[in-house]
Amino acid sequence: MERYIDLRSDTVTMPTVEMRAAMAAAEVGDDVYGDDPTVKRLEELAAGIMGKEAALFVPSGTMGNQLCIMTHTRPGNEIIAGTANHIIRHEAGVAARLSGAAYLLVDNPDHVIYDRDVRCLVRPGGNVHYPKTALLCLENALCDGNVVPQADLRAAADTAHELGLAVHLDGARIFNAALALGIPADGIAACADSVMFCVSKGLCAPVGSLVCGTAEFVERARYNRKILGGGMRQAGVLAACGIIALEKMTGRLATDHENARLLGERLSGIPGISVNREMIRINMVFWRTEIHGFDGGAFVNFMRERRVKISGGPQYRFVTHNDISRQDIDTVVSALRDYIASLGSV
């Protein structure tokens, strides 16, 4: 198969050779019956890493987040979340559809939810006109590639708990956030009652996320997973990759961060390209351009012809991952320069 340099997301990572071998050799059983030993091992590993009592293997991050919302809330409750959070922006409004939850939205310029936001938005009790505010949804790392300082995350969560709310953390890229903050992942997860993280992004597993929390919470989430059709059978073939992801692939994320900084540096050296290099906290590089004649659609097609896959603008996001090398970065920057040079002949 012809190889492409794919910068659209770290969801495009291919399972490693070791993962493919582990899939073939995995000991499996029916996970709905609780009989898959490889799934059990992954769940125990995930719970330990996150400092929680138990974990549940689920097909996707979206399902993991929605299971947590469904398990923490009742129909008619409200959840607090940020307008730019994945739960709001990239999950099709499904909390309203599946959990009957309404949204109280925080729209700060830096996309961080602060303790003052929680205190301001929580509905007062004892008034029949108000729904119950039941859950605060936090996120780290953020969808825009930024990382929330631990003090801010903890303050928002503490305020929510003080006011009687549960706290869920969308930690899809929690290991990237932990690396950027210089703390272990369980230090970030400690503030939340539940946390979801993905093994299918920069950690290279082909499928799957984990929901972690108390044993009682996870059992209720397991029931809700069945409701959503997320019960898998011989899922150990997938869980085997997740085990390798957690045991080995978390340790190489620093390379992705370094490559993102290198890519940002190289892009910022091109006249007409604007990169906020201070915002390159994890493996994401965002950039814009006001070069005359620069056409987003034409640019995407131009890059694909050179075997580079990207998403359109006007703000472009390049994501580094296990399948992106420094040589690939050279190729991408050279192709971008070629496209800009071609505009002179238009």
What is the C-alpha separation between 189 and 261, in angstroms, rounded?
A: 26
What is the C-alpha separation between 103 and 110, in angstroms, rounded?
A: 19
CATH number of 13-247: 3.40.640.10
What is the C-alpha separation between 50 and 212, in angstroms, rounded?
A: 7
CATH 3.40.640.10 maps onto the chain at 13-247
DSSP string, 269-333: TSTTEEE-GGG--SSEEEEEE--TT--HHHHHHHHHHTTEE----SSEEEE--TT--HHHHHHHH
CATH 3.90.1150.10 maps onto the chain at 252-345
Would you write out the chain's pLDDT as a tens digit for each of its 346 residues?
A: 689 999 999 999 999 999 999 999 999 999 999 999 999 999 999 999 999 999 999 999 999 999 999 999 999 999 999 999 999 999 999 999 999 999 999 999 999 999 999 999 999 988 999 999 999 999 999 999 999 999 999 999 999 999 999 999 999 999 999 999 999 999 999 999 999 999 999 999 999 999 999 999 999 999 999 999 999 999 999 999 999 999 999 999 999 999 999 999 999 999 999 998 999 999 999 999 999 999 999 999 999 999 999 999 899 999 999 999 999 999 999 999 999 999 985 4
Burial of 29 (0-12, 13-18, 19+ CB in 10 A): middle
Question: In this predicted structure, what is the pLDDT of residue 346?
Answer: 46
Is the CATH code 3.90.1150.10 the one for domain 252-345? yes
End-to-end CA distance of the chain: 34
DSSP string, 172-202: TTHHHHHHHHTS-HHHHHTT-SEEEEESSST
